[in-house]
Amino acid sequence: MSSDGRATARRLWVDLGTRGYPIHIGSGLIGDAELYRPHIGGRQVLIVSNTTVAPLYLAQVQAALAGFDHEAVVLPDGEQYKDLGTLNGIFDALLQRRMGRDVTLIALGGGVVGDMAGFAAACYQRGVAFIQVPTTLLAQVDSSVGGKTGVNHPLGKNMIGAFHQPRAVIADTDTLRTLPDRELSAGLAEVVKYGLIRDTAFLDWLHANAEPLMTRDGAALAEAVERSCVNKAEVVAADEREAGQRALLNLGHTFGHAIEAGLGYGEWLHGEAVAAGMVMAADLSVRLGWLDAADAVRARDLLARFALPVEPPPGIDADRWMALMAVDKKVLAGKLRLVLLRRLGNAVVTADFAPEALCGLLSDIESRVSD
């Protein structure tokens, strides 16, 4: 940290061999031409953004691209547009502008923009380069790291996609100042997740720094982004294609996806659904005799301090929960697998849990939150 309290640039490396890439984290990075230039192979650049982010930051990115042949495509904002139709709009833009195989896409926005621009880059002419410029906390700590790209299908979230690594990630913490409160909180849900699954020291730091994070202290946010990215990068480097431990990053996500699908995408933010889902996963872990009840309560309290929901919404009964979770990708050959906590900081992916414990959890929720 510099003496004026602003974050200085930090640089991580995601170690994926020939697909390795840097993550730059700090203040004032979004307009720094030198962070883009080394990762743009040709002359052509297509910036993909949305109607909310483009008015705020597109000009700064364009200024950093002086000398390149750059164009922008501005998508409608929202998870409900993360589909094949909107994706096709990116292909339209690329082809109408005659962009060649050496084009570089830049994803300027949150997770939805990153997932779609990344998937477009994965598929356009069977694969072109892209750079992530995440402007939400969720995207900075999660979706911009690891190469998962894709779109939703009416029958399931992120069901259509590709693994496609960016050439670089430029995470400017200044962009978090314009973030709506709900989205800041949603990002913090994923931050807490890293602590719960593998980093109890980070969890302690989060308990101690909840207030500066909620008041958007730049240094605290940069620290949270960096430690989240370090955790995610380590997991991804060990398991790029999600054959094993990478699935641990999905703590709370099977329940969370069910909440999102049950309510209809867009009602709850992804991070909000994950927060409630993590509380459910922790509760189930306690019921199985794995996690200490006090640790589950403490995790729930931390999420509540971050203004996150710690109960699922009403209106989903136990049968509906099971139906919604059955389409989750972690159902392998018909068997529901969940990420659960053996203890704090130690997550496992398992189908080997007593079904009565899950039934008990769901029926307790049904009676507690029914409307």
> Which sequence positions are flagged as catalytic?
126, 148, 190, 232, 242, 246, 250, 253, 257, 270
All residues at 6 or more sequence positions from 337 whose CB lies less than 8 Å from its CB, including other chains: 247, 254, 330, 331, 349, 350, 351
Give the whole-angstrom CA distance, residue 165 versus residue 311: 34
CB environment 25-47: b (16+ within 10 A), e (fewer) = bbbebbbbeebbeebbeeebbbb
Give me the least distance between CB of 90 and a second copy, in Å please: 10
Q: Which is nearer to a second copy, 332 or 359 (CB)?
A: 332
Place of tokens 């927060």: 275
Nearest to 317 by CA among 369, 353, 266, 278: 369
Nearer to a second copy, 55 or 100 (CB): 100
Residue 143 CA to chain centroid, in angstroms?
Answer: 3
Q: In terms of CB distance, is 297 or 327 closer to a second copy?
A: 327
* Residue 127 Cβ vs a second copy, minimum distance, rounded to whole Å: 7
Q: What burial class does residue 180 get, using C-beta atoms within 10 Å of its C-beta: 0-12 exposed, 13-18 middle, 19+ buried?
A: exposed
Whole-number minimum distance, CB 254 to a second copy, in Å?
13
Nearest distance in Å: CB 247, a second copy: 11
Amino acid in position 360: G
Q: Dig out the tokens for 342 from the structure.
A: 């053996």
- Alpha-carbon dihedral angle through residues 149, 221, 285, 362, given to the nearest 10 degrees: -70
Binding site for a second copy (CB under 8 A): 42-44, 84, 87-88, 91-92, 95-96, 98, 100-102, 122-127, 148, 150, 153, 155-156, 159-163, 241-242, 326-327, 329, 331-334
**Cα 308 to Cα 271: distance, rounded to the nearest angstrom:** 8
Instruction: Considering the complex, state which of residue 182 and residue 329 has its C-beta at the smaller distance from a second copy.
Output: 329
Q: Which is nearer to a second copy, 101 or 343 (CB)?
A: 101
CA-derived radius of gyration, the chain: 20
In the bound complex, what is the minimum distance in angstroms from residue 128's beta carbon to a second copy?
A: 11
